[in-house]
Amino acid sequence: MTSAYPAIGDCAVTAAAMRAAAAIIEESALPGLSVTCTSREITVQVSGHAGDPAGRAAQVGRLARIAGTQAYRDDSQVTAYSQIKAYGQARGIPVTIFTPVEVRTQPGSSGPVPLAAAPGGQVSAVPDGKLPHGWRWVTELDDQPATTAGQQAVA
């Protein structure tokens, strides 16, 4: 029979994760982080109200260095979603650090259509929201893309 409450060992591991998370917060000196700790991992979100997109990305980078890793851009292949993300460790506990970044859109006949950039840099609308292989979402971290009447939509 399983219990609705964690085993004592799980509580001790979760407490250790909380102490490791506190060390990350103290070392970074960043206010307003959203931190979740379980017996398996620590998740740190740099929320949207923590600054502009470039500032939030820099904060993820700072936290990543503390966790012994580097931040990278993580674009969803199946929906118009992008984030700056890092996987690292704090005191041997896996740490995920991220901040979402808004995907740029252009008006479409049935609402906003996300924009993506091809490997060569050409920006196109992606009406189905599925990112083609090798492409990346155009986000608020990018300069405002120029839209032209002749843009090709990617199906």
DSSP state of 50: G
Alpha-carbon dihedral sign for residues 123, 127, 130, 133: negative
Same domain, 78 and 93: yes
1 found inside a domain? no
Same domain, 39 and 27: yes
Same domain, 97 and 116: no
Residues 129 and 127: their CA atoms lie apart, in Å, by 6
pTM for this model (two decimals):
0.81
Structural domain of residue 61, as residue ranges? 8-101
| pLDDT per position as a tens digit, 91-134 | 889 999 999 999 999 998 889 999 999 999 999 999 999 999 99
Number of domains in the chain: 2
3 found inside a domain? no
Same domain, 93 and 34: yes
| pLDDT per position as a tens digit, 47-78 | 888 889 999 999 999 999 999 999 999 999 99
Same domain, 88 and 129: no
Residues 67 and 50: their CA atoms lie apart, in Å, by 20
DSSP state of 122: -
Same domain, 14 and 89: yes
